[in-house]
């Protein structure tokens, strides 16, 4: 039982980590980023490349990859997405336009990775050491990823709730039109939120590359998972993202241990549908309109 | 007026005639057009990139470096036309249609994987192209070979894979090296369903106790519940009919959890160079599907050429890679023996001839080879074939598997 709960928590932490960036990109900037998983895999490749080519520890690699993720996302938003934002008459229209634009981006990023690394699977060993927690054996790299996911989550939560800038971001997420009335620069805040999302997805990619096997084509799996977690938690809500991620991870692990490993996907979707039936806006989402 | 039109037409006909006379025969002999559609993107890309593409590229490079395929008394270089089937059966079918009707290629190399080979089987059969399926494992192979006489199923049947594994277990139990308890997990997809389906009755018939038998969905990201459950039952044998990411995940998790059964067998991916690269000394003693005669000079030479041919010195996988390359050698020998682009004759030659390849002499019986490697084991950094034990070059398995080392 302890083991099932511990592994479930770690898996859930990973799901939350994957989804945190998307909740900012989708919830605040209203960009439904379909190339999200590809950026995650790109960060995993960057980490792999730094580790095998330059012997740079992935945890140190974070210091390189995360700012790069921030910068690349900022440039993307400024160059590729700002015209869409300007042109879109409503936020709903922007959502549709961004789906099409980022769908194209998905192929570009994937194509670049395929040219650079080929289609093969990649995996490396880093801190794959057993450690005892509450009498159970866990892998150190997963534990570190979980710890950092919690750290990022808490830091981001505090930044969003305790700072003036965070309040502005939340204001844009809730009502961009009204935010403009109180002198919030919505375009700038959106770009910033999108870039933080990019930094978070880069961090997730680096951490996940320590223990998962990935290939240039595995991005879509992460996009799907992130989307489920974000929608289930309530779009744009960080706390919801954490709770939904943990709920999914725990349910998967408990079902795999006590019922049947073959049912994990079914339980995932049952939970997802169940939440949406009871709370259509997600666990922590506020019903709008 | 009329005469000028007639003259113009006559002139055009003459020019066309001359053009076709001068260009036509020359075109037919300057190259042999070979086409293929491979999964460059999508879920199959990982397997195709390791097992199939490097061999296709290496073979074409080698043949062209030697001047080309020997057609009659001339050498004719190979010209390649290739597409991405995006891991989809529809795309693969479309690409093959295009290769046949528009590109008019002389020969077609098969796609990667069981599903896509089954999907393109009827197309190749209808168009009369030889189909050397080098990466398909299906229990319908004998039946398909009858229905499509142009098709050759080089990896055999999943029942063959499962039965060979069980035979080996029976032998080891007889020698007192292992006990009765088996834990089995399998991926809930074509490969896992087929193999576990074949293994269950075989294990039961041999009086093994299947203490744990669970499937998991494709793409499961945390396999620790499975490993922990299996470990709690303390089996002698752990069998996983898994795909490459799960193969790596299960092995990693077993090492972390200190789950160290006497036999640790994993599925697709165990024979990949990536496996050795990731686990290093911990790969020692791990068994998996596939294998090759690592001591044979032909295989050693093939390994060296493969490393030299690929840009980053990549090694082949120790199962279907060498079979894929052998299938290309067979196609080449059949074409050269026929001496012209005559697909029906090439198919006939494949059915009846004997071929000298990197995996030894191969002769088809009812369009199926007679020898397969089904169980391999990492021994001293090489993945040697250990089953069937009657194969030439089969090594004795190391039992029990050495304990996992702290990395």
Chain A residues within an 8 Å CB radius of B222: 7, 10-11, 14, 249, 252-253
CB atoms within 10 A of CB A54: 11
**Beta carbons within 10 angstroms of residue B284's beta carbon:** 18
Cα separation of B159 and B202, whole Å?
9
Q: Identify the band that residue B20 occupies on the pLDDT scale cut at 50, 70 and 90.
A: very low
Chain B residue with Cα closest to A130: B256
The residue that leads in pLDDT, A261 or B341, is B341
Mean predicted confidence (pLDDT) in A5-11: 87
B73-92 residues touching A, CB cutoff 8 A: 87
Does residue B108 contact residue B99 with C-beta atoms inside 8 Å? yes
Is pLDDT at A270 greater than 50 in this prediction?
yes
Q: What pLDDT sits at residue B93?
A: 94
Rounded Cα gap, residues A237 and A229, in angstroms: 11
Instruction: Tell me the two tokens of residue B98.
Output: 């295009």
Q: Does B45 contact A256 at a Cβ distance shorter than 8 Å? A: no
Q: Residue range B39-44: average pLDDT?
A: 85
pLDDT band at B22 (very low <50, low <70, confident <90, very high): very low
Q: Under a CB-based contact definition with an 8 Å cutoff, are residues B275 and B247 in contact?
A: yes
In this prediction, residues B326-332 reach a mean pLDDT of 96
Three-state secondary structure readout of B222-237: CCHHHHHHHHHCCCCE
CB contact under 8 A, A252 and B222: yes
How far is it, in rounded angstroms, from Cα A14 to Cα A243? 12
Which token pair is B128? 């009369």
pLDDT of residue A149: 87
Test A114 with B41 for CB contact under 8 angstroms.
Answer: yes
Cα distance from N-terminal residue to C-terminal residue, chain A = 43
Cα diameter, chain B: 100
Taking the C-alpha atoms of residue B5 and residue B305, their distance in angstroms, rounded to an integer, is: 62
pLDDT average, residue stretch B156-164: 90
Mean pLDDT value across residues B118-138:
93
Helix ranges (H only) for B233-342 are: 244-257, 273-279, 297-309, 320-338
pLDDT of B10 higher than 70: no
Chain A residues whose beta carbon lies within 8 Å of the beta carbon of residue B255: 128, 130
Question: Quick check: B63 pLDDT over 70?
Answer: yes
pLDDT (tens digit per residue) in B194-251? 889 999 999 999 999 999 999 998 888 888 889 989 999 999 999 999 988 899 999 9
8 A C-beta contact, residue B145 and residue B153: yes
d(C-alpha A210, C-alpha A143), whole Å: 11
pLDDT for the residue A56: 84
pLDDT score recorded for residue B407 = 60
How far apart are alpha carbons B391 and B280 in whole angstroms?
A: 27
Closest Cα partner for B255 from B236, B227, B229?
Answer: B227
ipTM here: 0.81
pLDDT of residue B356: 94
The most confident of the ranges A13-17, A151-155, A169-173, A199-203 is: A199-203
Q: Which two tokens stand for residue B367?
A: 């369009």
Residue A216 phi, psi dihedral angles, 5° rounding: -60, -20
**B41 sits in which H/E element:** none
- The per-residue pLDDT for B23 is 42
Answer whether residue A63 shows pLDDT above 80.
Answer: yes
Contact B125, B118 (CB under 8 A): no
* pLDDT, averaged across chain A: 87
Using CA atoms, how far residue A97 sits from A197, A228, A284, B264, B373, in Å, is 19, 21, 26, 51, 53
Average pLDDT over residues A201-212: 91
What pLDDT is recorded for position A259?
85
In chain B, whose CA is at the least distance from the CA of A113? B41
Residues B15-30: what's their mean pLDDT? 47
Task: Tell me the per-residue pLDDT of B331-375, one tens digit each, with 9 for 90 and over.
Answer: 999 999 999 999 999 999 999 999 999 999 999 999 999 889 999
> Does any CB of chain A come closer than 8 Å to the CB of residue B50?
yes
pLDDT over 90 at A141, yes or no:
no
When pLDDT is averaged across residues A26-42 and rounded to a whole number, the result is 90
B310 interface with A at CB cutoff 8 Å: no
Task: Give me the pLDDT at residue B189, please.
Answer: 81
Dump pLDDT digits (tens) for A80-138: 888 888 888 887 888 888 888 999 999 999 989 988 888 888 888 888 788 887 777 88
CA nearest B257: which of A257, A256, A137?
A137
The token duo for B120 is 């393109």
Burial (CB count within 10 angstroms: exposed 0-12, middle 13-18, buried 19+), residue B165: buried
pLDDT at position B78 over 80? yes
Which residue carries 């063959």 as its tokens? B160
**Chain A residues closer than 8 Å to B39 by CB:** 119
pLDDT above 60 (res A287): no
Does A185 or B212 have the greater pLDDT score? B212
* Bridge partner list, A137: A132
For residue B41, list chain A residues with Cβ-Cβ distance below 8 A. 110, 114, 119, 216-217
Pairing type for strands B69-71 and B151-153 reads unpaired
Would you state the pLDDT for residue A289?
A: 41
Average pLDDT over residues A30-52: 91
* Candidate from B46, B219, B225 with C-beta closest to A120: B46
Closest by Cα among A194, A210, A159, A203 to A63:
A203
Rounded to the nearest integer, the mean pLDDT of chain B is 89
Using CB atoms within 10 Å of the CB of residue B113, give its burial: 0 to 12 exposed, 13 to 18 middle, 19+ buried: buried
> Are the Cβ atoms of B226 and A265 closer than 8 angstroms?
no
Using a CB–CB cutoff of 8 Å, tell me whether B283 touches chain A.
no
Residues B138-154: what's their mean pLDDT?
93
CA distance A90 to A103: 20
- How sure is the predictor about B4, in pLDDT bands with cuts at 50, 70 and 90? low
Determine what percent of chain A is predicted with pLDDT higher than 90.
24
What pLDDT, on the 0 to 100 scale, is given for residue B2? 47
Write out the H or E segment, with its range, that includes residue B209: strand B209-216
Of B40, B50, B406, the CB nearest to A114: B40
Taking each helix axis from N to C end, the angle separating A2-27 and A238-258, rounded to the nearest 10 degrees, works out to: 150
* Number of residues written out for chain B: 407
């Amino acid at each position: 039982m302890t083991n099932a709960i511990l592994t479930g928590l770690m898996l859930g932490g990973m799901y939350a980590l994957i989804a945190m960036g998307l909740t900012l990109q989708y919830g605040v900037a209203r960009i439904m980023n379909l190339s999200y998983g590809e950026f995650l895999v790109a960060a995993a490749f960057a980490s792999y490349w730094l580790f095998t080519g330059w012997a740079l520890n992935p945890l140190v690699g974070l210091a390189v990859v995360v700012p790069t993720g921030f910068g690349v996302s900022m440039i993307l938003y400024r160059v590729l997405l700002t015209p869409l934002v300007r042109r879109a008459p409503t936020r709903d229209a922007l959502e549709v336009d961004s789906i099409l634009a980022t769908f194209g981006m998905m192929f570009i990023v994937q194509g670049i990775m395929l040219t650079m690394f080929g289609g093969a699977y990649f995996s490396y060993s880093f801190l794959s050491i057993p450690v005892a927690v509450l009498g159970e054996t866990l892998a150190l790299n997963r534990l570190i990823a979980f710890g950092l996911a919690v750290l990022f989550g808490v830091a981001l939560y505090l930044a969003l709730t305790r700072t003036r800038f965070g309040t502005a971001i939340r204001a844009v997420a809730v009502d961009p039109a009204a935010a403009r009335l109180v002198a919030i620069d919505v375009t700038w805040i959106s770009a910033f939120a999108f870039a933080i999302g990019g930094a978070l997805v880069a961090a997730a990619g680096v951490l996940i590359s320590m223990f998962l096997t990935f290939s240039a084509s595995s991005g879509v799996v992460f996009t799907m998972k992130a989307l489920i977690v974000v929608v289930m938690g309530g779009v744009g809500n960080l706390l919801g993202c954490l709770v939904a991620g943990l709920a999914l991870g725990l349910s998967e692990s408990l079902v795999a241990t006590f019922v049947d490993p073959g049912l994990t996907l079914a339980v995932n979707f049952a939970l997802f549908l169940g939440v949406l039936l009871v709370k259509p806006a997600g666990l922590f989402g506020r019903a709008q309109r | 007026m009329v005469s000028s039109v007639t003259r113009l037409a006559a002139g055009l006909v003459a020019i066309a005639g001359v053009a076709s006379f001068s260009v036509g025969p020359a075109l037919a002999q300057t190259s042999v057009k070979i086409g293929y559609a491979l999964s460059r993107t999508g879920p199959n890309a990982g397997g195709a990139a390791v097992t199939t593409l490097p061999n296709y590229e290496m073979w074409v490079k080698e043949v062209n470096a030697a001047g080309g395929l020997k057609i009659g008394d001339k050498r004719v270089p190979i010209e390649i036309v290739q597409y991405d089937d995006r891991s989809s059966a529809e795309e693969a079918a479309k690409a093959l249609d295009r290769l046949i009707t528009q590109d008019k290629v002389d020969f077609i190399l098969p796609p990667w994987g069981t599903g896509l080979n089954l999907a393109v089987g009827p197309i190749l059969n209808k168009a009369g192209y030889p189909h050397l399926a080098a990466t398909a494992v299906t229990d319908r192979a004998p039946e398909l070979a009858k229905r499509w006489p142009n098709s050759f199923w080089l990896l055999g049947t999943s029942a063959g894979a499962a039965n060979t594994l069980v035979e080996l277990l029976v032998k080891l139990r007889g020698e007192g090296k292992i006990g009765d308890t088996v834990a089995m997990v399998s991926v809930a997809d074509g490969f896992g369903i087929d193999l576990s389906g074949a293994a269950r009755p075989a294990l039961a018939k041999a009086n093994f106790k299947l203490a744990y038998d669970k499937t998991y969905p494709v793409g499961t990201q945390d396999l620790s519940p499975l490993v922990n459950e299996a470990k709690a039952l303390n089996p002698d044998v752990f069998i996983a009919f898994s795909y490459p990411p799960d193969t790596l995940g299960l092995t990693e998790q077993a090492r972390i959890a200190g789950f160290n059964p006497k036999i640790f067998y994993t599925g697709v991916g165990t024979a990949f160079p990536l496996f050795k690269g990731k686990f290093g000394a911990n790969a020692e003693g791990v068994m998996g599907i596939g294998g090759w005669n690592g001591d044979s000079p032909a295989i050693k030479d093939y390994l060296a050429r493969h490393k030299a041919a690929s840009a980053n010195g990549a090694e082949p996988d120790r199962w279907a890679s060498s079979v894929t390359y052998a299938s290309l050698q067979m196609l080449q020998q059949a074409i050269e023996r026929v001496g012209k682009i005559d697909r029906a004759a090439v198919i006939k030659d494949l059915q009846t001839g004997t071929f000298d390849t990197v995996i030894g002499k191969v002769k088809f019986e009812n369009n199926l080879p007679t020898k397969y490697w089904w169980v391999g084991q990492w021994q001293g950094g090489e993945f040697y074939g250990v089953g069937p034990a009657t194969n030439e070059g089969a090594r004795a398995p190391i039992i029990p598997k050495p304990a996992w080392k702290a990395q």
